[in-house]
Structure 1
Amino acid sequence: MKANKVLNHIKPLVAGRDVLDALVELIEAAKLTVGDKLPPEVELARRLGVGRSKIREALNAWQKMGIVVRNKGAGTRLAAEIASHSVHMPLTMKLEAESLLRTHAVRRPLEIEAVRLATVEATDQQRKVILARMAELMAVYEAGEDWRPADHRFHNEIFAATGNPLFGQLIAQIQKAFQDIYEAPFGKPHLGQSSIVLHRPMAEAIASGDQISAVNYTTQIMDIVEAEVREIIGAGK
């Protein structure tokens, strides 16, 4: 059985990301492919020298990102390839990039539709708040500070303006699934920073009821983030 060939000598683990790195190394060493079953949580915990809760947390995050499929009683199977195609790109970075692209592909239509609906449904007060959140975001960004919290507040106001709370909930779940493991993708906590300048015209389009422009700016923002990820993948080839 392939699952029995996994490494027993993994370096000591101290954080969630370490567990992920070790799992990738373990799967690669065992030459597991899509459809193959991973060892049980208890066995993985023993081999990696960590508590079972850490293994469960990592596998649950992978399940949300489409990397594994978990069925009670049937174990955990790989749903995405984890294999080395380049000596220039570490396995963990390749997995990270592919995971981010999957979550981005799901988030993209939700973000675009949320902006479209907000442009149509937002009240006058909500339009003012969206502009205020945009101004806050731009001020933080231009000051060279961490703009991510302000960005979250800005987008949350857009989700609220749709009148449908599911937009915010679903997108938050998608983000959490990735950020549980990858808080700073590729070591870059500000991935997508070059798209921030487009948030001003996007907010102004929403506030003015210009649905076409608002959607176009949102699409450009999503394109920029995807292009940055693909550029990183390309650099590793």
Structure 2
Amino acid sequence: MASDSLRGDDVLHALPANSTSRDVLDALSRMIEEQGLKVGDRLPPEVEIARQLGIGRAKVREALTSWQNMGIVTRNKKAGTRLAAEVSSNAIHLPVTLKLEAESLLRTHAVRRPLELETARLAAQQANDKQRLLIEARAAELMAVFQAGEDWRVADYKFHAAVHLACGNPLFGELIQQIQQGFNEVYEAPFGQPHLGAATIPLHAPLAEAIVAGDEVEAERLMGEIMDMVEAEIRQVMETQNV
């Protein structure tokens, strides 16, 4: 049965004044594991977390909102903030903060995958001439940056944004951005690897070609291959860290 109280008064330790949202969530992760909290258990109120950590309440609210967007907690005024996902290092031999990061990334990726596949298919079906030219240009820009050995993340974002725009339904892009935002606000570089997914970049050129050619089946297949490769890389990093 879920409990409504933590054992002890001060279960968190003060953080430096310049702490980030990730620092706040790392502290909460350790607290949750040490206290043995389970799904359904309630976390301390924002004001109490802020007091114990010695930081502003706004920073706590920002951090917890990120967790809410990732499906780790639920929040409402009457029930407070409650765990919606397991926060424990017991299942695999990883530090709890790294395990939580990996599970959060896999969770958001699983939701994003079908949206990206359908977006690619619809873009191949719906894109007008101007949108096709933009997709070609964004793909060329991405490949040029990647082949030059530069940071390709912004170019990759612009390419996918062009595909989302071409699908004819703005909700797809908005939903995908919302899903990723919660994770990216905390984990700017997953596992400390800012270029996670680099192996998928060469596939973006044929993906653009398929969309421009109106080949819905090939566009969806290539997007699926890209998403599968990213998931496989996440799991491989988990296994490496586990070792």
In the superposition, the TM-score normalised over structure 1's length comes to 0.95
Distance apart, 1:89 and its partner CA: 1.8
User: Residue 2 of structure 1 contacts residue 30 of structure 1 at CA under 8 Å; is this kept in 2?
Assistant: no
- Note if 1:220 corresponds to 2:225: yes
Change (3 A) 1:152 1:9: closer
Match of 1:16 in 2: 21
Q: Which amino acid aligns with 1:140?
A: V
Following superposition of structure 1 onto structure 2, how do residues 44-59 of structure 1 map, counting pairs within 5 Å? 44-59=49-64
Following superposition of structure 1 onto structure 2, how do residues 1-237 of structure 1 map, counting pairs within 5 Å? 2-5=5-8, 7-12=11-16, 14-85=19-90, 88-237=93-242
Number of aligned residue pairs: give it. 237
Task: Decide which moves more: 24-33 or 78-87.
Answer: 78-87
Q: Which amino acid aligns with 1:107?
A: R
Structure 2, gaps ≥5 residues long: none
Identity over aligned pairs, percent = 59
Please give the alpha-carbon distance, in whole angstroms, between the structure 1 residues aligned to 2:108 and 2:58.
24
Cα deviation, 1:86-109, whole Å, max 9, x if unaligned, reads 785221110001001111111111
Q: Which amino acid aligns with 2:145?
A: V
RMSD over aligned CA atoms reads 1.6
Distance apart, 1:152 and its partner CA: 1.0
Change (3 A) 1:57 1:212: same
User: Residue 10 of structure 1 contacts residue 22 of structure 1 at CA under 8 Å; is this kept in 2?
Assistant: no
Please give the alpha-carbon distance, in whole angstroms, between the structure 2 residues aligned to 1:11 and 1:29.
18
Please give the alpha-carbon distance, in whole angstroms, between the structure 2 residues aligned to 1:198 and 1:191.
15
Task: Decide which moves more: 168-177 or 132-141.
Answer: 168-177
Distance apart, 1:9 and its partner CA: 3.2
Distance apart, 1:2 and its partner CA: 5.0
